[in-house]
Chains A and B, each alone.
Chain A
């Protein structure tokens, strides 16, 4: 049933392959979380300014992506992404075949999903900061950049951190879905290994333990960050 000898490092086992797969999962999670946060900031900005059209587009984006299964979004971007990129390249006069690699596609797909969740978190955090603070900062003669980076930014971060921690957990778990694109992360490595060794239970339990380790460890990390950022309030 559970074969420990298949998990050793080196040529006899799959230990080192799983180590690289774990690193790949972490890489994709961090990249897509970062890209997702950037996208979320744009979305929040579009939702909060008074322009009706941008608000409509932003609301449409978050509603649709959150109402459709993650797997479907990944399929759409993985299989449809190349077509879109090639038609954009055609506009610029390039007619060759372009193929994005699995890492790029996977990162973009997960970022699209993660951004919808982060945007809700950031929006709530922004609204939680007292508007009087902006007025106070203006009265002190701070310019727009100073207001954002010295007054609003740190406070938004404090309010948003617990939510961001949750989104990180969701993102980390969603990366298991991009195994369908062929990117060798934990889930893909599990399928490969169990097909070769005919022992799915061993590798699936390993994958579950690896994910459990990653989520627990990063959860602890976010707890420390939260404590650090709310020092003045405890």
Chain B
């Protein structure tokens, strides 16, 4: 047993694993900042998207169209290399944030997830039937109460599975930030590969960690679904 453990500790895969693990906090940092902001902004943008005021809904529709029609890599490069090449931005206070690959990554990921997330939430908000809104109005709810007590609870429950999908896509999307020299898990795996010339071991170590992260994400979404849909619990068993 001891021999086996020693061998395991010596093996390249294990050593890579430990090294890639040191990039986990950088990956999580990207997610911890961009996901909550993305969630709140998605809700706001979804409300703007369904609003009857064309001045609000049209620009948001355009924004969603552009972001969903272009690859995330282009967006990350545009923010990291593109914005940096504008003189005006280099001289403004924004440059303190935008010269860091980390903040560029956060900005790009947030912009991306808001576009996809608000489309998902729009579907949820539009699926709230007219009768439910009318019953809220007949109880004398004002707009804010109506949103807080009726529209959001119903819409969010409905879109939980698809928003969970988007969360998993975001975990995967953080790997692209490594292309702007930010050292998260993929970046470290790439560095290990350049150092050891053993690509398979390096990328499998990183792959296992990403799989684990996504597994946790799936469990989290499943728990939320279980918690907020008590009327469906019997059916699931």
Residue ranges of A at the interface with B (Cβ–Cβ < 8 Å): 1, 64, 67-72, 75-76, 79-80, 83, 173-174, 176-177, 179-180, 187, 190-191, 194, 198-201, 204-205, 207-208, 211-212, 215-216
The interface residues of chain A, by DSSP majority, are classed as helix
Contact A190 B179 (CB under 8 A): no
The A-B contact count (CB < 8 A) is 112
> Is there an interface contact between A173 and B71, defined as CB atoms closer than 8 Å?
yes
User: Which of B74, B81, B172 makes the CB contact (< 8 A) with A211?
Assistant: B74
Q: Check if A200 sits within 8 Å of B211, measured CB to CB.
A: no
Q: How far is the CA of A219 from the CA of B212 in the complex (A)?
A: 34
- How far apart are B71's CB and chain A's nearest CB, in angstroms? 4
Of B71, B175, B178, B211, the residue contacting A174 (CB under 8 A) is B71
Q: Is the Cβ of B203 less than 8 Å from the Cβ of A76?
A: yes
Given contacts A67-B210, A69-B210, A75-B189, contact A205 B78 (CB under 8 A): yes
Within B69-104, the residues touching A (CB, 8 Å) are 69-75, 77-78, 81-86
> Per a CB cutoff under 8 Å, which of B78, B85, B211 touches A64?
B211
- Is B32 part of the contact surface with A, judged by Cβ < 8 Å? no
Q: Which of A64, A79, A80, A176 contacts B73 (CB 8 A)?
A: A176
Q: Using CB atoms, name the residue of chain B closest to A195.
A: B81
- B31 → chain A closest CB, angstroms: 13
* Interchain CA distance A75-B187 in the complex, whole Å: 11
Q: Which of A64, A69, A216 sits near B186, CB closer than 8 Å?
A: A69
Q: In the assembly, what is the distance between CA of A197 and CA of B189, in Å? A: 31
Interface residues of B in 162-217 (CB under 8 A from A): 168, 171-176, 178-179, 186, 189-190, 193, 199-200, 203-204, 206-207, 210-211, 214-215
Q: A80-B203, A216-B69 are in contact. List 19 more A-B contacts (CB 8 A).
A: A1-B85, A67-B168, A69-B171, A69-B172, A69-B173, A69-B175, A69-B210, A71-B175, A72-B175, A75-B189, A75-B190, A75-B203, A76-B199, A190-B77, A191-B77, A201-B86, A204-B81, A212-B69, A215-B68
